[in-house]
Structure 1
Amino acid sequence: MNLPNKLTLARIILVPVFMVTAWLRLPYADYLATAVFVVAALTDTLDGYLARRRQEITRFGKLLDPLADKLLVSAALLVLVEGGRLGAWVAMIIIGREFAVTGLRAVAAAEGIIIAASRFGKLKTVFQIIAIAALLLRDYPFRTWHIPFAGITMSLAVVFTVASGLDYFFKGRELWLPSAE
């Protein structure tokens, strides 16, 4: 097993570690949970970079990498909803988009169609990670200055989540629009 795939597996293993850490009722648990989340999120950037640079892209990695991302973000959103830090409707938009796009990409792949990721998808990921980290930290240090940083970044994450989802469905429209035969 190559290093990029090991990093992806590490991200999956960090998901339950993150969840347990986030539910601890100990001093500094929020900081520890955020650190675990950020380390796990950084493995996504690192595994992709290494796989491309070393030309070690595998079918296993192509399957596991997006699954690991969805598990991490979904786990974090569930922790935030359960902790009363995020509305369930926000989590549902993000998780629902992930299911919809994964389904679309699976159908496209079965038809031999590749739907390339867009800039919106990258922005979605960046803002989701930043917003989740800010919410885990209860908006520290921004709350000191009364700046709703977590709310702003989560709003942008939702906008880019919806935009990237629409972009995927637009790019794959030949799969779901009736054909003119």
Structure 2
Amino acid sequence: MNLPNQITLIRIGFIPIFMVIFLYPFQWGTLDLAGAEVPMNHAVAGLLFAVAAATDWVDGYIARSRNLISNFGKFLDPLADKLLVTAALLSLIELALLPAWMGVIILTREFAVTGMRLVAAADGTVIAASGLGKWKTVFQMVAIFFLIVHNVPFDELGLPVATMLMWIAVILTVLSGIDYFVKNKHVFNDA
């Protein structure tokens, strides 16, 4: 297995660790970040989430720069992103830090595109991530990070940056989902 795929597997391994730390406070107390009190476990979970999300860029960069792009990587990388985003969204919803309807829209698109990729894969076709899909992922990851850390440092300034980023992420999620289905409608030719 090549290095980019190993890094992707590490990203998947971060998911349960992130969830345990984020959802179960273990009496860690709070941390003063930019004048805002953030539960210590949320600060640590935010750091773990940021590291896991950054590995998406790292594995992609290594794969492209060393010509290590593989079909397995094209399948595994978006799956790892979806697993990380799903875990984070469900955790944020459980903690009432994200409206459930936003999570449902994002997860519906993720499952629909994954289903389409599986159908295509059965015919030997690999559907790689699109540019719009990559921007969607960036905005989702950044928005989720700021939700995890309670909008710090923007909360003290009265700027709802986390919420604004999540709105952009939801809009990009819908647009990129439509884009995937329009560009890959041939996958469902026999429907």
TM-score of the two chains, using structure 1 as the length reference: 0.90
Structure 1 residues 114 and 24, CA gap change in structure 2 (3 angstroms):
closer
After alignment, is 99-108 or 71-80 more displaced? 99-108
Asked if structure 1 preserves the Cα contact closer than 8 Å seen for 2:75 and 2:126, the reply is no
The match for 1:81 is: 93
Match of 1:37 among 18, 29, 49: 49
Match of 2:152 among 140, 143, 168: 140
Overall identity of the aligned pairs, in %: 52
Q: Structure 2, unaligned stretches of length 5 or more?
A: 31-39
Structure 1 residues 116 and 65, CA gap change in structure 2 (3 angstroms):
closer
Give the AA of the match of 1:14.
Answer: F
- Superposed CA deviations along residues 63-118 of structure 1, whole A, max 9, x for unmatched, are 32222111111000011000000111111111110110111122234345554533
Correspondence 1:50 to 2:53: no
Distance 1:64 1:173 in 2: 22
Give the AA of the match of 1:17.
Answer: I
* TM-align CA RMSD: 1.8
Higher RCO structure, 1 or 2 (CA under 8 Å, sep 6+)? 2
Query: What number of residue pairs does the alignment pair up?
Result: 179
Asked if structure 2 preserves the Cα contact closer than 8 Å seen for 1:4 and 1:56, the reply is yes
Correspondence 1:6 to 2:6: yes
Asked if structure 1 preserves the Cα contact closer than 8 Å seen for 2:78 and 2:129, the reply is no
Cα distance, 1:47 vs. partner? 0.6
The structure richer in helix per residue is 1
Structure 1 residues 52 and 126, CA gap change in structure 2 (3 angstroms):
same
The match for 1:107 is: 119
The match for 2:15 is: 15
The structure richer in strand per residue is 2
Asked if structure 1 preserves the Cα contact closer than 8 Å seen for 2:71 and 2:126, the reply is no
The match for 2:80 is: 68
Cα distance, 1:5 vs. partner? 1.6
Q: Flag as ranges the 4+ runs of structure 1 deviating above 6 A.
A: none
TM-score of the two chains, using structure 2 as the length reference: 0.86
Aligned positions of 1:96-175 closer than 5 A: 96-113=108-125, 115-175=127-187
Q: Structure 1, unaligned stretches of length 5 or more?
A: none
Structure 1 residues 154 and 48, CA gap change in structure 2 (3 angstroms):
same
